[in-house]
Amino acid sequence: MSPGQLLAVLELVGVFAFALDGALTAMRAAHLDLFGVVALGVVTALGGGALRDVLLGSLPPASFSDWRYLFVATCGALVAFWGHPLLRRLSRPILLSDTAGLSLFCVTGSAIALEAGAGPGQAVLLGAVSAIGGGTLRDVLVRRVPTVLTGGLYAVPALLGATIAVAGGRLGADGLPLALAAGGSCAALRLLGL
Amino acid sequence: MSPGQLLAVLELVGVFAFALDGALTAMRAAHLDLFGVVALGVVTALGGGALRDVLLGSLPPASFSDWRYLFVATCGALVAFWGHPLLRRLSRPILLSDTAGLSLFCVTGSAIALEAGAGPGQAVLLGAVSAIGGGTLRDVLVRRVPTVLTGGLYAVPALLGATIAVAGGRLGADGLPLALAAGGSCAALRLLGL
Amino acid sequence: MSPGQLLAVLELVGVFAFALDGALTAMRAAHLDLFGVVALGVVTALGGGALRDVLLGSLPPASFSDWRYLFVATCGALVAFWGHPLLRRLSRPILLSDTAGLSLFCVTGSAIALEAGAGPGQAVLLGAVSAIGGGTLRDVLVRRVPTVLTGGLYAVPALLGATIAVAGGRLGADGLPLALAAGGSCAALRLLGL
């Protein structure tokens, strides 16, 4: 698998995880019907990447020109809507899917920023924005104080993961192991920080 | 009237409708003075189109470079502020102005996206974003859970209207009848879906 | 000091003032830890300028490509976090830092817009957006109805300051005196309007 394909796959997995997370949060937060659940799942999943693309100036955002994003996000939300009773058996489905999205997006977001010509510092910031943006939009829409403000370590793991991904890439580290190390560090710090 | 002129007129009617809607919502939601009512009317009226232009990358947004937008939005908010007692005699002034803005913006938003070079899929999405964006900003600012999440059919009518407008345009349908069919379908589905 | 240097210094002072304001607001509004306080300070400080740059299409925003912005914003938030007991002796630290940020950003924001090629009308609007944007984001994130809707004169002083800055510049007025006149008018109207 080429680095570009790896990036696309990880990004779509992140989209799925955040759509699941947004839809599960939606169902807990308010009396939403199918349409509301899908809308919140899609916004959570695509919001962070769209914000990154807007700040990069690479417009229209990838999530608007590539139909796989919207398709995967809708699927994630529908899985959450119909699979809700099964997912509840997992100990903390919202925490897990949120952490997965955070870890994947800080890695893919910084790589996409580097590819678009951003410097290393900007790439770290934009990786964190990709990771944090969707969840923050989700919280604002369901009227919660955003996790980034109250959740202890939330921005810091995303910044750590993005920093490892950018620094490792400059040191010549390989695609998949580097992505695992960066995303894993982000996830570990996020889960430990709670 | 040329298609471009028709588009501009419909867009400004939509701006007026959303400004009315935002200002009426503002007056019901919180103790706002004249400045707050005008601010919320302007944000509701121009927010969706500005979001569309940002996502299209056609910057600065039309609503910032063309003074008629701000003027019409301010007029709409002032009509709501001073005409409030008269408007109350209409059965549901907020619902009607919101539906009018939604129906007009899904048609004009997708047409503007096509003109800016977007593909048909993107044009449908950006039409819906234009239509939904202003009302969602309004709800976030007055701390309501956005209508797009709770209002049953809200995103779906906008997507339907934009799809009819884009598909009809590709099939060679004429400007005004097509706009009426697309906007009318959106309004009908919105009002039926409540 | 050249006009460009003056602009950069004023902009960074505005970033510091808004970071202080955002962090102080954060500590009053919710039980936030250090990370949450810094996050809200940074968003308040850099949000308005980033919004201006997005609307101008000059991307990535200056606050993402120039590390001094993030550094100064973080410092401002940390000063608020640790200096909180001392700052409380000032009669109204939040009001004062908010007014300082508003007054500085309406001047620098309109000048940056003019430099980027915007017309005078757009420059006035974008100056006001720079000044109002950060505080509005702050309010949305801590779930307050934004000051721009409830605070009486909040948008109007920003529009006044930006108008004086743009009009004075076209009449050939000098950098520092003009900035003082425009920012001072904004601050005076803001404080009188309460």
Residue A27 pLDDT: 82
Q: Which of B58, B64, B68, B136 to mutate to test the interface with C (most CBs of C within 10 A)?
A: B64
C40 neighbourhood in chain A, CB within 8 Å? 149
Write out the residues of chain A at the interface with chain C, using a CB-CB cutoff of 8 A. 54-57, 118-119, 121-122, 125-126, 136, 140, 143, 145-146, 148-156
A152 neighbourhood in chain C, CB within 8 Å? 33, 35
Residue A116 pLDDT: 83
Residue of C nearest to B58 (CA): C57
Q: How far is C34 from A63, CA to CA, in rounded Å?
A: 34
Say if residue A174's pLDDT is above 80. no
Average pLDDT over residues B76-101: 80
Q: How far is B79 from B6, CA to CA, in rounded Å?
A: 24
Q: How far is A21 from A135, CA to CA, in rounded Å?
A: 9
Q: How far is C169 from A84, CA to CA, in rounded Å?
A: 60
pLDDT tens for each residue of A122-173: 888 888 889 988 888 888 888 887 887 776 678 888 888 888 888 888 887 7
User: Which two structure tokens, joined as six digits, stand for B86?
Assistant: 């008269």
Say if residue B91's pLDDT is above 70. no
Residue A99 pLDDT: 85
CA distance A117 to chain C (A): 10
Write out the residues of chain C at the interface with chain B, using a CB-CB cutoff of 8 A. 54-57, 118-119, 121-122, 125-126, 136, 140, 143, 145-146, 148-156
B54 and C54: CB-CB below 8 Å? Answer: yes
Residue B141 pLDDT: 86
pLDDT tens for each residue of A50-107: 888 888 888 888 888 788 888 899 899 998 888 877 777 766 777 788 888 888 889 8
Say if residue A1's pLDDT is above 70. no
Residue C154 pLDDT: 81
Separation in Å, CA C126 to CA B1, B85, C65, C173: 33, 34, 20, 20
To the nearest 10°, the Cα dihedral for B71, B74, B75, B79?
180
pLDDT band with cut points at 50, 70 and 90 for residue B37: confident
Residue C188 pLDDT: 86
- The set of chains that have 3 or more CB pairs under 8 A with B is A, C
Residue recorded with tokens 């800055």 = C165
pLDDT band with cut points at 50, 70 and 90 for residue B152: low
**Interface predicted TM-score (ipTM):** 0.81
The stretches in chain C having pLDDT less than 70 are: 1, 90-91, 151-152, 194
Residue A159, CA atoms < 13 Å, CB-side half-sphere: 10
B153 neighbourhood in chain A, CB within 8 Å? 35
